[in-house]
Amino acid sequence: MITTKFTETFGVDHPVVQGGMQWVGRAELVAGVANAGALGFITALTQPTPADLADEIARCRELTDKPFGVNLTILPTINPPPYDEYRRVIVDSGIKIVETAGSNPAPHLPMFHDNGIEVLHKCTSVRHAVKAQSLGVDGISIDGFECAGHPGEDDIPGLVLIPAAAEKIDIPMIASGGFADGRGLVAALALGADGINMGSRFMCTVESAIHQNVKEAIVAGSELDTALIFRPLRNTARVASNAVSRDVVDILDKGGRFEDVKDLVAGVRGVKVFELGDLDAGIWSVGTAMGLINDIPTVGELVARIVAEAEGLITGRLARMVGSDEDERVLA
Ligand SMILES: Cc1cc2nc3c(=O)[nH]c(=O)nc-3n(C[C@H](O)[C@H](O)[C@H](O)COP(=O)(O)O)c2cc1C
């Protein structure tokens, strides 16, 4: 067992989190993560309506009696989803942990806290982490440049971002972006985090309800196979490098506007990748951790393996490096 401030505050066995993932964060995966003793989040906005979210939470409860949470991604869109209704469903369903991301969580905090819900806020810069801490969130998930989805515009990888944030954050903090195995977990702990959050790695598991072609593409892919779209629009997203994402980069680099790529990046196309397994149907998120993902295990196997590998590293190779007797030391 690895016990940290995070496992104690959020009441889970292992310091491992499955963050919200549009089209991927559904009941089977989240329940698998919960049953493995880690913390999973159902992605609220994957459900077309608040009523569908209530059904998905109920479905997840049938699959596990362990705690799990809901991710609420707050996007600055022209036609925002009915956030207050999604929030009401989260509260009424008895959820006790929410992952917020995408924007300032302040408007959502009073209602969550009044109902005994802990909020884990995911952000991509030290200044946003500090701001969220001052607003009273219960934990921070600090997401480095390696990550799938939105890495922000500062381009600071975890090796610097995590310790820089750790110096300013007193509440439990987990590290996110580029984690896939026990080595990453140990590194995150060494850098000052209390655990790790993973998206891409959990996407590529038996329980993740996406097409097998996508999982196999992740296994076949390397750390070089992602693309950063929307850079000129300052709304960067890390996605798989494919025909569509390369087109989007090209059009925007040549001075195109969002309207020129709107159809290419539409969610209706992206969801086809996950449902039909057509890898060039649209854009789909995945991170550089792809270079570390070589199999499609069950979630239970994955979490157990990560924790065992981390424990083995801490008590084995690393401990031997600091042995007091020169004979005990092993050159690693
Ligand atoms: C397919 C996919 C969809 C994602 N959708 C969301 C989302 O809707 N909201 C969110 O907060 N994060 C989203 N993320 C980001 C993950 O929660 C997590 O922060 C990220 O994957 C961490 O980086 P990693 O992929 O290197 O582990 C998504 C990630 C993936 C892979």
* pLDDT per residue of the chain (332 residues) written in tens, 0 to 9: 999 999 999 999 999 999 999 999 999 999 999 999 999 999 999 999 999 999 999 999 999 999 999 999 998 777 889 999 999 999 999 999 999 999 999 999 999 999 999 999 999 999 999 999 999 999 999 999 999 999 999 999 999 999 999 999 999 999 999 999 999 999 999 999 999 999 999 999 999 999 999 999 999 999 999 999 999 999 999 999 999 999 999 999 999 999 999 999 999 999 999 999 999 999 999 999 999 999 999 999 999 999 999 999 999 999 999 976 555 555 55
176 touches ligand 1 (CB under 6 Å)? yes
The span from the CA of 253 to the CA of 227, in Å, is 13
pTM, rounded to two decimals: 0.96
Residue 202 CB contacts under 8 Å (≥ 6 apart), including other chains:
18, 21, 24, 29, 33, 40, 208, 299, 302
C-alpha distance from residue 327 to each of 260, 312, 314 (Å): 66, 20, 19
* In the chain, alpha helices (H): 5-10, 27-35, 50-63, 83-92, 109-114, 126-135, 158-166, 182-190, 200-203, 212-220, 243-253, 258-261, 267-276, 299-313, 319-321
181 touches ligand 1 (CB under 6 Å)? no
Ligand 1 centroid–CA 285 distance in Å is: 7
The span from the CA of 181 to the CA of 184, in Å, is 5
22 touches ligand 1 (CB under 6 Å)? yes
177 touches ligand 1 (CB under 6 Å)? yes
Ligand 1 centroid–CA 148 distance in Å is: 5
Among the listed residues 2, 39, 32, the one whose alpha carbon sits nearest the alpha carbon of residue 17? 39
Mutate to test the pocket of ligand 1, among 98, 99, 200 (most ligand atoms within 8 A of CB): 200
The span from the CA of 329 to the CA of 321, in Å, is 5
| Protein residue with least CA distance to atom 21, ligand 1 | 199
DSSP annotation of 44 reads G
Ligand 1 centroid–CA 316 distance in Å is: 32
Q: Of all atoms in ligand 1, which is nearest to the CA of residue 146?
A: 26
Residue 237 CB contacts under 8 Å (≥ 6 apart), including other chains:
149, 150, 228, 229, 230, 283, 285
71 touches ligand 1 (CB under 6 Å)? yes
Q: Of all atoms in ligand 1, which is nearest to the CA of residue 178?
A: 26
Q: How deeply is 134 buried, as exposed, middle or buried, from its count of CB atoms within 10 A (0-12, 13-18, 19+)? A: exposed
